[in-house]
Structure formats: structure tokens, C-alpha cells
Structure 1
Amino acid sequence: MDKAYINVKGQWKYYYLAIDKFGNVIKFLLCKHRFDKEALALFNKVNRP
């Protein structure tokens, strides 16, 4: 899971990126707020064994 704060069309967004051990993108998410509930759900879903 990686996170960055980026500017998208003049608005600042948090960019969450989930990648596997081979470097392939599993899922990404753009959120207005840090630790948005969608981002936390994505984080929990990806980190389950």
C-alpha cells in the first residue's frame, strides 16, 4: 500500500495504491480526505492473508 498527495484537475487528492509483490497494481483509489473510510476498507481488504 502506497499513498501520495497529488493535484488532479486543480484539486488536491490522496492517491492510494495497492500493489502485489511482483509490482502489479491490485487497486487504486483517489480520496478527498486522508484516511477516508473507503481507503481504510481498501487497506484492510488488501492486507488480509
Structure 2
Amino acid sequence: MHRVVRETQFAGVSPIARGKVRDIYDLGDRLLIVATDRLSAFDVILPTPIPD
């Protein structure tokens, strides 16, 4: 089974935005944009990922 990343957390850094599939962190002089495995259809985040 593959690991699924649905949520991100980094010590000492809070996200400035959580979108339907991406999380954005402010690292001072840079932005970190993380694409997760969350799925979205018709502006709704689906509760479970698509199975293999």
C-alpha cells in the first residue's frame, strides 16, 4: 500500500492557506507550496482517496 499525504504539518511553521489540494507555508523570504493527495470534485474535498 502507498502512503497518502492528506494533511501537512511542519514544526514551528503554520500554514498561511489550505486549499482544496494544496497547503501554503510562509518561510520568510520564500513560500512552500505542498501538493497533497486530497481529492476535490465540484469544489468538495472527498473524504477518502481513490483506492489503488
TM-score by length of 1: 0.34
Structure showing greater radius of gyration is 2
TM-score by length of 2: 0.33
Structure number with the higher strand fraction is: 1
Structure number with the higher helix fraction is: 1
